[in-house]
Homo-oligomer: A and B are copies of this chain.
Amino acid sequence: MFDALLPTIHSPADIKRLSVEQLEQLAGEIRQAICDQVSKTGGHLAPNLGVVELSLALHYVFDFSYDRLLFDVGHQCYPHKLVTGRAPMLGKLRQEDGMAGFPEPRESGYDLFSVGHAGTAISTAVGVARGDQINGQTDRKTVALIGDSSIVNGLAMEGLNNAGTLKRQFLIVLNDNGMSIGQPQGALAHYFDKTRLSPTYKSVKERAHEMLKQIPGGSLIESVYHRLGEMTKAAIAHNHIYEHFGLLCVGPIDGHDIAGLIEMFAEVKDIDAPVLVHAKTVKGKGFDFSSADPTTFHSPKPFRVEGCRVEQITSGRSFTSAYSDALIDLMTRDEKVTAVTAGMPDGTGLAKVIPQFPERTFDVGIAESHATDMMAGMAKAGLKPFVTIYSTFTQRAFDQIFQEVSLQGLPVRFCMDRAGLVGGDGAVHHGFADTAMLRVFPNMVITAAMDEQTLRGALEFMRTYDAGPSSVRYPRDNVPTPAHDDKPAAFKLGKANLLEAGSDLAILAFGFPANHALKAREELASQGYSVAVYDARFAKPVDIELITELLEAGTPILTVEDHSIVGGFGAAAVEAAHAAGLDTRLITTIGLPDGWIYQGGRGAQLAKAGIDATGIARKVRAILDKNAHASGNASPAVNVDIHGTRVSR
């Protein structure tokens, strides 16, 4: 047996001392460490298993304490983190104060951007590369590592188009595992499928001299050819799509052949032109269960490996599952309903729907802007399209929702999973901005679901609502067991739903936090407070009748939402009350703070934001106790008359 190498790697400098055989051993140790950890805590597994050799080879050849390494999406950064001094943090993967699941500059200078959204690496790398050049640091190399599913994202293609104009070293490593997150989508995926692996390491060398004759005059290849190494020369891809973008393309090469990768990177490192190295990898490489089913093991929950059987430890029924079933129901009843996912069939629950309705469901790959516009086109054709994208990724379609949907008045339906706090994925994935984002569009209807029944209610409302766009948000959480068996009232435009009555204060909770509000109400009842709880349901239009009624009756209102306190449901309530000439001082709003919340447990995050049951109850007591104090003593509330004199009630 060999001694373990991973414990000896404290920085990338330690890698450079290893032999190829040792690097291969290290790759195995890294795989095992990642798999052990993810099986315990969940996390991204298959993507990281696929890039171990690529990560080691890049760190072996470049010096990223000075050179620039940019990750796309970033859920394949674990091997990189393990060799940049963060192995000791792995035990708290994706936990508060532990190792983030995405690159995180707060953890290490080796991480340049915290990224969880796809397609950004080339564009930011172009900026860093141009910036270093302006700063006179022309010797600083730039490398962008991007997957085949990301590189077809619009942002990535814009980045490629601009990268092709660079007159300096710029390396794009295309990690082509042919898998994306689910199955590859789009014509380019088929293109990648057709590309064949170049003969490996040794045999490519033999081909080198033959290639020279085939190079057309005046090309980028010709201009840099004399500086290329033998291996690169042999691996030059002719008629590669990215040649048209002005890149020198080499490969595809074997992305698990450490020796070959090291030689290739060493050869292309000093080319003063944009180069793309196309590496084929196996997603989930290293374990039979993960390479055989990389989609399931893309980002699994904790799991157990028992012999050749792997069991994912799941608990409860997720909103995602509830959405799947509700959508199947809608599509069964209404043949006009269509649905799209942007490369996330599993995450959004569409994976279950697609086989049942292959003609009316679409996976367009990681292309949220296109997904939205495609569905706008379908609405134009008279269909009832449901756009199923995580809240955070819906941000990619802001302008399409404006122009192609809202301005046209088209009834496109947005179903936003992962709205609110998302736990371990952290700040790059929270759905904190969807309501604020959508509320500025004049005709947008914005709803939220608190449980499976209201999710079905919202979707049924949206199915029949044809006057313009509509949306529903629901969290990365399990659907709660309903408090009682009664079917909730049907959704009615702009109407909240009373869940439990009470006289001292009314909680208007937008979506899932209504469940916390109900729990808080029980606690408060035992303490002598009588609190009404409403499922607010609509943030646009907000239920101004209810708000007016409550405020005119002097009932304090507490709004609760799993969304930024800026511009969200509470803000909508305050703005509406203000516009109606009401005294907004009786309204208190709680939600996510105007700041960042990093990775941790979703429960802990909710508690920190003060929107779990405990936080809500605490806030209610603070309001009522202050008011009671105020009414029992000299009032601290101050009114002003129009002449500017202070008057106290």
Contact = CB atoms under 8 A, between A and B. Distances in A.
A25 interface: no
A35 to B, nearest CB: 28
Contacts of A396: 398-399
Given A440-B436, A554-B640, A642-B556, A124 B188 contact: no
Nearest to A402: B395
A153 B154 contact: yes
Contacts of A129: 377
A335 B206 CA distance: 50
B567 A571 contact: yes
Contacts of A105: 408
A130 B381 CA distance: 9
A162 B371 CA distance: 9
A113 B187 contact: no
Given A439-B436, A554-B645, A639-B649, A407 B427 contact: yes
A155 B574 contact: no
B125 A377 contact: yes
A367 B244 CA distance: 18
Contacts of A128: 377-378, 380-381
A241 interface: yes
A552 B630 contact: no
Contact of A644 (B160, B191, B383, B553): B553
B645 A641 contact: no
A101 to B, nearest CB: 15
Contacts of A441: 433
Contacts of A379: 127, 131
A555 to B, nearest CB: 6
A330 to B, nearest CB: 15
A117 B399 contact: yes
Interface in A382-409: 382-383, 385, 393, 395-396, 398-400, 402-404, 407-408
A594 B495 CA distance: 20
A567 B574 CA distance: 11
A581 interface: yes
Contacts of A513: none
Contacts of A578: 574, 578, 584-585, 587, 589
A364 B158 contact: yes
B586 A575 contact: no
A158 B189 CA distance: 12
A400 B120 contact: yes
B641 A113 contact: no
Interface in A410-448: 427-428, 432-433, 436-437, 439-442
A355 interface: no
Contact of A437 (B114, B437, B627, B643): B437
A115 interface: yes
A400 B648 CA distance: 48
A349 interface: no
Interface in A551-571: 551-556, 564, 566-567, 571
A307 to B, nearest CB: 40
A182 interface: no
B370 A155 contact: yes
Contacts of A134: 338, 359-360, 378, 381, 383
A186 B165 contact: yes
A627 B649 contact: no
Given A114-B408, A554-B643, A594-B442, A159 B370 contact: yes
Contacts of A641: 554, 631, 649
Contacts of A190: 164-165, 246
Given A244-B188, A436-B439, A127 B364 contact: no
Contact of A158 (B152, B161, B375, B380): B152
B408 A113 contact: yes
A126 interface: yes
Interface in A167-207: 185-188, 190-191
Nearest to A375: B127
A370 to B, nearest CB: 4
Contact of A585 (B132, B385, B556, B581): B581
A483 to B, nearest CB: 26
A116 B403 CA distance: 8
Interface in A618-649: 627-628, 630-631, 637-647, 649
Nearest to A408: B113
Contacts of A222: none
Contacts of A567: 436, 439-440, 567, 571
Contacts of A439: 436, 566-567
Which interface residue of A124, A186, A375, A645 has the most chain B CB atoms within 10 A?
A124
Interface string A113-147: 11111001001111111111011000000000000
A486 to B, nearest CB: 28
Given A380-B128, A554-B641, A596 B369 contact: no
* In the A-B complex, the 10 residue pairs with the closest CB atoms: A127-B377, A154-B154, A164-B187, A131-B381, A554-B644, A187-B246, A123-B373, A158-B370, A554-B640, A398-B398
Given A440-B564, A554-B646, A567-B567, 5 more contacts: A124-B377, A154-B157, A407-B596, A436-B436, A583-B639
22 contacts: A115-B404, A120-B403, A120-B404, A130-B377, A152-B157, A155-B370, A155-B400, A157-B157, A164-B190, A187-B247, A241-B244, A393-B399, A436-B436, A436-B567, A552-B646, A553-B644, A566-B575, A574-B584, A581-B585, A583-B584, A583-B638, A583-B639
